[in-house]
Structure 1
Amino acid sequence: MATHTLMGGKLHVYRRENSTCWQCSTYLAGKNRRVSTKEESLSNAKEFAEDWYLELHGKHKRGEVVNERNFRTAAKQFEREFEIITEGQRSSAYVAGVKLRIKVNLIPFFGDMGLSEITPGQVQEYRIHRREQAIEKRGEPPARSTIHQEIVALRQVLKTAVRHEWLDRLPDLSEPYKSSGKISHRAWFSPEEYRQLYTATRRRANSPVRKRYKWQCEQLHDYVLFMANTGLRPDEAMRLQYRDVVIVEDEATEETILEIEVRGKRGVGYCKSTTGAIRPFERLKERNDPAPTDLLFPKTHRELLNNILDEEGLKFDREGNRRTAYSLRHTYICLRLMEGADIYQIAKNCRTSVEMIEKYYASHIKNNLDAAAINVRKIRPQKKKEKVA
């Protein structure tokens, strides 16, 4: 490795064997500091190194150089811990998503900042930076939920720094304006739209575009009916094995239903279907002749579902919300509410909270409004007629 010294031996310019660019380093405030000059010419590299050295010493005299760990170090420690502490609690896709947000968005902006330099003002600068960057690349700002997920990842990294005593306390990461966004309902299918959807999937199952796609089309049709009559999350349905589903006679309703042992993000839970899920489940068993440990839905059929939604004009609801397989769960909840089902029992059956249902589902179901209770009129006492003497 070629090395040159400057500034009385306090500054070193060197080039590694596997690199074409020169780097420089110095020892300051109890820490070795180095940076790439990004120069292949030695003379240009020396000039860069001297400027960098003098600027660094100027910052040190002004108290701007702090000997502390930076965000990049904390992020590396967080990633090392996160996969271990969330094992069995979060899916691998979720963990990969958090890591990707840190690598692609957070580190390029906060990477070299000292942890104490990440202030509420810097976090707000990050929000502005992300908006400007997205508009420049795609012509539109990132979704509010996207920024929220990135700030959540930032908070998790900073919490790691607090745990290791690299940071005294968390900075305020809340938005200074618009602290609570507009609550919009989840995309779902109204009864008429749901009928249109399963009619279209049944038609495609009976007459596929090509014969070799018949199995996929039949699977999708049964998937739509099964999901809309059980309220399962898509990831729960993808984990479902045939041994997890049992056909039973329900004593309370005297109807034949499915009892399902569900494994998802909330751990193991249980679900009771409506009678509409029986026939799709029976067709799945007849079609696939499965072993008890086989998956009900080994494939997602996402592309086929999106094609049918586009063909039927159902991909977006009137507010512009995109419909996906998750919308079938939302449809189940909304239809149950419209039929007058108890909200607490729906929450238990869907492994969610009453608060979530009231916030995202019940608020836009007109059947939840009792006109008799709303349009109450106060009974006014009649005036007594004066007696004529």
Structure 2
Amino acid sequence: MADLSSPHTFDQFESLAHELLQVEMQRMERGDLSRAAVGILRNRLDAHVMPFFRDIRPSEVDVAVMEAFVERLTEAGFSTTTMSQYLVVVRKLLRLAVRHKLLREVPEMPKVRVVHRPRAMLTLADYVAVVRAAHRLVRQRTQAPQVKQQGRVRERFWVAPRHLTLPPDMAWAIRFMVNSFIRPGDLRHLKHKHVQVCRGEHLYLRLTLPETKRHDATMVTLRPAVQVYEAALEQARAQGLGGPDDYVFLPGERDRVYALAVLGFWFKWVMREAGVATQDTWGRPRTLYCLRHTAIMFRLLYGQGIDMLTLARNARTSVQMIERFYASALDGEMNVAMLQSRRAIR
């Protein structure tokens, strides 16, 4: 076993990477970092950081080495956002090198201009079309075609046979996400104990979901989500489920990673059946995540007088994220009626 007390031991990226993972694991145990974030760090170390830096001593790293690393990432076809995230990992390793006096300071990092691309979304017509297509596939009990989109037959179809016929869960999930702002990861973990139906001046669901991305605020849905939830609950109770610890969507699937994958597969199938492209005009893929983007965009487009702070807090994000990834996709024609409106003359 290597002697970690020796300064020569730390003049290896293997040792620095091991130390960095230990530090981040401790942050995770304190609740400062999610398990998923640690997993992403480990994946980035294994995928490109260590293959490039393994035979380079940290004490030898300079601007030229960093530029060569960025060139490797560029050749791999990464976006500038992904490249900047890799540079964050390398910067953490080099800070440890400075701490161990292997470097006097962290070398200057190459400039990578991050271009923030708005998320893909559905138009109102697209949304109506996919919901109708999902309901139609349920009524017709149509089986999913066991072919890839390019037309090649799969040798082994990964979706279990019981999920080749669409249940109501898909239409429910689409409507629920667009009327609740939740992420697909939240949908996967949503249990009945996280949902409270609120009836009063307004009808809505109060969602008290586990913390995601350092946000733990209660979320409030729009009225249509109530009808979706009550329909899902009625079906679950008919199946002997619907208890506080049972899942709302695909409650019979205990493997929740698989459950979310099935919902993603169904969503692409439904879009194709609805005649909705699985990519938008700019080539951005429409996945389940685009339903969250659609929910936020619909409020920006059709909500009356909603302010960004209220929307951001309810969607468990920040005003900066709303402006960067959502509001940046708005153009004048989307709200031409508002632009052409006039104040009432008193």
Q: TM-score per shorter chain, which class?
A: 0.7 to 0.9
Residue-pair matches, total: 298
Stretch of structure 1 that moved more, 295-304 or 256-265: 295-304
Per the alignment, residue 371 of structure 1 pairs with: 339
Per the alignment, residue 156 of structure 2 pairs with: none
1:185-200 to 2 correspondence within 5 Å?
185-200=118-133
Q: Does 1:314 align with 2:314?
A: no
Q: Does 1:207 align with 2:140?
A: yes
Closer/same/farther in 2, CA of residues 207 and 109 from structure 1, 3 Å limit = same
Give per-residue Cα distances to partners, 1:189-244, cap 9 Å, x unaligned: 11111111111122222223249448853111111111110001111222221011
1:315 is paired with a residue whose SS is coil
Of 15, 18, 25, the match for 1:73: 15
Give per-residue Cα distances to partners, 1:300-351, cap 9 Å, x unaligned: 1222222223443331011111111111110011000112322221011111
Per the alignment, residue 54 of structure 1 pairs with: none
AA matched with 1:282: E
Contact 1:130/1:142, CA 8 A, preserved across alignment:
yes
Contact 1:262/1:268, CA 8 A, preserved across alignment:
yes
Normalised TM-score (structure 2):
0.77
Counterpart-to-counterpart distance in 1, 2:276 and 2:173: 20
Closer/same/farther in 2, CA of residues 160 and 201 from structure 1, 3 Å limit = farther
Q: Does 1:343 align with 2:311?
A: no
Contact 1:83/1:95, CA 8 A, preserved across alignment:
yes
Counterpart-to-counterpart distance in 1, 2:173 and 2:162: 19
2:270 is paired with a residue whose SS is helix
The structure with more radius of gyration: 1
Contact 2:70/2:110, CA 8 A, preserved across alignment:
no
Of 294, 303, 318, the match for 2:246: 294
More strand by share: 1
Shift of 1:150: 1.8
Gaps of 5+ in 1: 1-30, 33-65, 135-140, 375-389
Counterpart-to-counterpart distance in 1, 2:206 and 2:17: 44
1:1-389 to 2 correspondence within 5 Å?
69-87=11-29, 88-132=31-75, 134=76, 141-175=77-111, 179-210=112-143, 212-213=162-163, 217-250=167-200, 254-263=201-210, 264-289=212-237, 290-297=242-249, 298=256, 299-300=259-260, 301-311=263-273, 312-339=275-302, 340=304, 341-365=306-330, 366=332, 367=334, 371=339
Gaps of 5+ in 2: 1-5, 144-160, 250-255
AA matched with 1:101: R
Normalised TM-score (structure 1):
0.69
Stretch of structure 1 that moved more, 201-210 or 232-241: 201-210
Counterpart-to-counterpart distance in 2, 1:192 and 1:232: 21
Counterpart-to-counterpart distance in 2, 1:207 and 1:345: 41
Shift of 1:97: 2.4
Closer/same/farther in 2, CA of residues 351 and 130 from structure 1, 3 Å limit = closer
Closer/same/farther in 2, CA of residues 182 and 348 from structure 1, 3 Å limit = same
Counterpart-to-counterpart distance in 2, 1:68 and 1:249: 61
1:146 is paired with a residue whose SS is helix
Contact 1:187/1:323, CA 8 A, preserved across alignment:
yes
Per the alignment, residue 157 of structure 2 pairs with: none
Shift of 1:372: 5.6
Contact 2:183/2:292, CA 8 A, preserved across alignment:
yes
AA matched with 2:90: L
Percent identical residues: 26
Shift of 1:353: 1.2
